[in-house]
Amino acid sequence: MFDDRESAKLKATSTKEERDLCFARFYERFPTKSEREEVIFRAASPYGIKCECGNLVANRKYGERTAICPRCKKKASATANTLFHGAKRLSAYCCAIFVTGEGLAISANDFSMRNGIATSSGNIILHEVSAVVVDQFGDAAEMISAILCKPVAKRSKETPAREHPKAEQIEAEKRASTSVGLKRSSGDNPRAMSEATRPAKKVPESDLERRILDFLSLQPLQFEDLAKQASLPQTELLCTLTMLELGGFVKQLPGNCFAAIENDMPLSFQQPRTPVEARKAKHFFLFISKTFHAISRKYLQRYLARYWCFVDRERWNFATLLEACATAAKKSYAQLTSYVTPLSVKVMFSEAC
Ligand SMILES: [Zn+2]
């Protein structure tokens, strides 16, 4: 399905050397904590601090977040009501914006270590920055999230218990199909990759049926191999396959083989429709697996944002990302972590794919 040689030509992650160099550029440009913080303060309040009394406070000292308003004598903060509102570790924010803006592919682990902060802190900062980028997709092409769920292998709170992480996608589709169905993407969008996002298809009712279907693709699979893979007694497997066959999910083929049926495949098993789409998706998969190893479906859209920064070297740099962050609204921790990637995701792929 995928052509490995094609995508191998395009780099899919940043090497350790590239990460070292990127951090060296950061330290060179912003050698001290106050320089890193000052650039944030200036971006957040470029014309002075807007005091609650309405006064524009211009007497803030270099590297200082607050200044006393000459009119009302109250303390005014340069980061009030911005993404950086009340944020500690502004140096790390500055670093996250710098390296993401430069299109560096880096894990939360590595980022946090280099910044000398806890992984959880580094992770949430990177998520905050990614969430800003998510809001910048605008009228970018939409794609069914299922096509991009291949590298999803991490469990999240959304993943049903005792199920493969992919079950999260099935659950999301089930919920959507029982409500309104998927939104159609605009057909006149020149960057559109899929002509339209189709309504969610039916999925098997029982957990076991869905689990078995998960093992099957369009390629025929021997009954014995399937039994081994699913570690299920043959009688139980046969019974489940019969139900799947009746439901139109599976067909039996000569040689006691079984395969999933394309037309009735739920969205979760959708494959890219064109070679170009497959190549683009493949490059994203490589980016994920080489940089983060695995991600949860829940945050897929944010990783697509990180990927956009990685591939789009014209749109994103330190200045453009800093501006986007400085004008973005503060999201609470709860808002950041309760986010769930919608069924239809926004994508910006590399033109080179
Ligand atoms: Zn004031």
CATH number of the CATH domain containing 191? 1.10.10.10
Q: Quick one: pLDDT at residue 47?
A: 93
Q: Quick one: pLDDT at residue 198?
A: 41
87-96, 144-153, 183-192, 320-329: which range is least confident on average?
183-192
Residue 326 CA to ligand 1 center (angstroms) comes to 21
Residue 81 CA to ligand 1 center (angstroms) comes to 15
Q: Beta-carbon neighbour count of residue 192 at 10 Å?
A: 17
* Within a domain: 251: yes
Residue 50 CA to ligand 1 center (angstroms) comes to 8
- Look at residues 269, 284, 312 and tell me which one is the last residue of a structural domain: 269
Residues 33 and 71 in one domain: yes
Residue 75 CA to ligand 1 center (angstroms) comes to 8
Residue 57 CA to ligand 1 center (angstroms) comes to 7
Residue 58 CA to ligand 1 center (angstroms) comes to 11
How far apart, in whole angstroms, are the C-alpha atoms of residue 225 and residue 350?
38
Would you place residue 151 in the very low, low, confident or very high pLDDT band (cuts 50, 70, 90)?
A: low
Q: Quick one: pLDDT at residue 211?
A: 86
Residue 49 CA to ligand 1 center (angstroms) comes to 9
Residue 45 CA to ligand 1 center (angstroms) comes to 15
Instruction: Tell me what the mean pLDDT of segment 56-77 comes to.
Output: 96
Tokens of 129: 């920055």
Per the model's pLDDT, the better-predicted residue between 207 and 192 turns out to be: 207
Alpha-carbon distances, residue 50 vs 68, 111, 196, 331 (angstroms): 11, 33, 45, 20
Residue 14 CA to ligand 1 center (angstroms) comes to 47
Residues 114 and 183 in one domain: no
* Within a domain: 69: yes
Residue 90 CA to ligand 1 center (angstroms) comes to 24
- Look at residues 231, 253, 269 and tell me which one is the last residue of a structural domain: 269
Residues 205 and 153 in one domain: yes
Q: Quick one: pLDDT at residue 304?
A: 96
Q: How many domains does the chain have?
A: 2
What HEC string does the chain produce? CCCHHHHHCCCCCCCHHHHHHHHHHHHHHCCCHHHHHHHHHHHHCECEEECCCCCEECCCCCCCCEEECCCCCCEEECCCCCCCCCCCCHHHHHHHHHHHHCCCCCCHHHHHHHHCCCHHHHHHHHHHHHHHHHCCCCCCEEEEHHHHCCCECCCCCCCCCCCCCCHHHHHHHHHHHHCCCCCCCCCCCCCCCCCCCCCCCCCCCCHHHHHHHHHCCCCCEEHHHHHHHHCCCHHHHHHHHHHHHHCCCEEEECCCEEEECCCCCCHHHCCCCCHHHHHHHHHHHHHHHHHCCCECHHHHHHHHHHHHHHHCCCCCCHHHHHHHHHCCCCCCHHHHHCCCCCCEEEECCCCCC
Q: Quick one: pLDDT at residue 278?
A: 85
Residue 332 has phi, psi (to 5 degrees) of -75, 165
Residue 301 CA to ligand 1 center (angstroms) comes to 40
Instruction: Tell me what the mean pLDDT of segment 25-47 comes to.
Output: 97
Q: Beta-carbon neighbour count of residue 85 at 10 Å?
A: 12
181 Rama class: left (phi>0) / alpha (psi -120 to 50) / beta: left
Residue 56 CA to ligand 1 center (angstroms) comes to 8
Residues 151 and 135 in one domain: no
Q: Quick one: pLDDT at residue 195?
A: 34
* Within a domain: 203: yes
* Within a domain: 328: yes
Residues 336 and 221 in one domain: no
Residue 333 CA to ligand 1 center (angstroms) comes to 29
**Surface-to-core class of residue 331, CB atoms within 10 Å of its CB (0-12 exposed, 13-18 middle, 19+ buried):** middle
Residue 249 CA to ligand 1 center (angstroms) comes to 67
How far apart, in whole angstroms, are the C-alpha atoms of residue 60 and residue 143?
46
* Within a domain: 278: no
Residues 29 and 130 in one domain: yes
* Within a domain: 283: no
Residue 138 CA to ligand 1 center (angstroms) comes to 36
- Look at residues 249, 269, 289 and tell me which one is the last residue of a structural domain: 269
Residue 352 CA to ligand 1 center (angstroms) comes to 52
* Within a domain: 289: no
Q: Tell me the pLDDT of the chain averaged across its residues.
A: 84
Residue 48 CA to ligand 1 center (angstroms) comes to 12
What are the beta bridge partners of residue 344?
144
Residue 41 CA to ligand 1 center (angstroms) comes to 18
Containing domain of residue 94, as a range? 14-141+298-347
What are the beta bridge partners of residue 75?
68
For residue range 219-264, what is the model confidence (pLDDT) as tens digits?
788 999 999 888 888 888 988 888 888 777 888 888 888 888 765 4
For residue range 159-204, what is the model confidence (pLDDT) as tens digits?
776 677 777 777 777 777 665 434 433 333 433 334 334 444 567 7
* Within a domain: 291: no
Residues 118 and 163 in one domain: no
For residue range 267-321, what is the model confidence (pLDDT) as tens digits?
555 677 778 888 888 999 999 999 998 888 889 999 999 999 999 999 999 999 9
Residue 67 CA to ligand 1 center (angstroms) comes to 10
Query: Above 90 in pLDDT, residue 343?
Result: no
Query: Above 60 in pLDDT, residue 5?
Result: no
Residues 199 and 312 in one domain: no
Residue 87 CA to ligand 1 center (angstroms) comes to 22
CA angle, residues 77, 78, 81, in degrees to nearest 5: 80
Instruction: Tell me what the mean pLDDT of segment 45-60 comes to.
Output: 94
Residues 151 and 219 in one domain: yes
